[in-house]
């Protein structure tokens, strides 16, 4: 909303609610309904907003938006490479070929480290995608629709 210079009233028209409702949603005193969140996300087509919507729907079980880090595309790329390397390093340690019943506590901790490094890499990769979309004017929604179409073409999803 701020990036496009919209007022609360303009954002409200986009989301089909009163501008004061948008203000309450922004302040956190009111939750956005699914139709409001969908309308705003589709209109603004911004990765940060889509991540906020996903976090809202999943109760936080999704990539959080990082707001106290350098989100310049180059900085995000370098951090993403670092995080992916940490996944590779952790994967060499983890006894991932064993079942849960076969692992000891040390192996369990190595697998937990791999899990946490993977989640950190997902966070970095998600922010990299958002930074690229924003900088080069790619559609966040369009990117994911294209990706889903490719997955459907490969019969990975229905």
Q: How confident is the model at residue 4 (pLDDT cuts 50, 70, 90)?
A: confident
Give me the long-range contacts of 56-65 (CB less than 8 A, separation at least 24).
56/31, 56/32, 63/122, 63/123, 63/126, 63/127, 64/123
Q: What pTM, to 2 d.p., does this model score?
A: 0.85
Where are the domains positioned within the chain? Answer: 8-58, 73-153
pLDDT digits (tens, 9 = 90+) for 21-45: 999 988 889 888 888 888 888 889 9
């Amino acid at each position: 909303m701020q990036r496009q210079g919209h007022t609360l009233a303009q954002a409200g028209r986009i989301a089909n609610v009163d501008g004061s409702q948008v203000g309450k949603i922004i302040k956190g005193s009111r939750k956005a309904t699914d139709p409001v969140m969908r309308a705003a996300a589709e209109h603004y087509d911004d990765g940060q907003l889509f991540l906020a919507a996903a976090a809202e729907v999943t109760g936080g079980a999704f990539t959080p938006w990082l707001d106290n880090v350098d989100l310049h595309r180059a900085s995000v790329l370098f951090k993403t490479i670092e995080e992916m390397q940490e996944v590779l390093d952790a994967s060499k340690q983890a006894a991932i070929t064993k079942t849960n019943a076969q692992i000891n506590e040390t192996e369990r901790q190595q697998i937990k480290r791999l899990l946490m490094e993977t989640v950190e890499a997902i966070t970095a990769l998600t922010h990299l995608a958002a930074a690229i979309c924003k900088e080069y004017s790619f559609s966040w929604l369009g990117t994911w629709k294209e990706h889903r179409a490719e997955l459907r073409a490969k019969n990975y999803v229905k």
